[in-house]
Amino acid sequence: MEVPYLRCCFCGNSKPIHSRKYDGGRLRLGALTVDPSDYPIVQIRDVQPGPGRGHKVKGHGGWPVTGTLSIVEVLGDPEYADLGKQVKDRLTAIVRSYMRAGIISMEDLDLV
């Protein structure tokens, strides 16, 4: 049996397109609810003991988020600026390829 997956052209991760887990049985990306310039692209997590990390009790420990950085904050932080530039370069390459294919126009980008 073949199962189609949607592969992210940004990061390479993939998800099945059809699944009983999805509302309606089909993958939906959903609306952007946060301005992309404010979206936290870096998460700082506290690594706590848990299954596989020296603690055998399920439900204890984990990886709680203790901080986040938006793309603007990432580009302004010397520790993460190179990563922010890599994200920008990847996004630019994706948009350019969509424009060359005629999928995105300047009007779509509200730049006209």
Within a 13 Å sphere around the CA of 8, how many CA atoms are in the beta-carbon half? 10
Domain extents for the chain? 1-30
pTM: 0.75
The reported pLDDT for the residue numbered 72 is: 94
pLDDT tens-digit map of 27-61:
998 888 989 889 999 999 888 776 655 555 555 56
Tens-place pLDDT, residues 1-25: 899 999 988 888 999 999 999 989 9
CA distance 92 to 55: 43
Give the separation between CA 82 and CA 71, rounded to whole angstroms: 11
Spatial distance between the Cα atoms of 82 and 75, rounded to a whole number of angstroms: 8
Q: What is the pLDDT of residue 3?
A: 93
Q: Rounded distance, CA 11 to CA 3, Å?
A: 20
Please write the tens of the pLDDT for every residue from 55-108.
Answer: 555 555 667 889 999 999 999 999 999 999 999 999 999 999 999 999 999 999
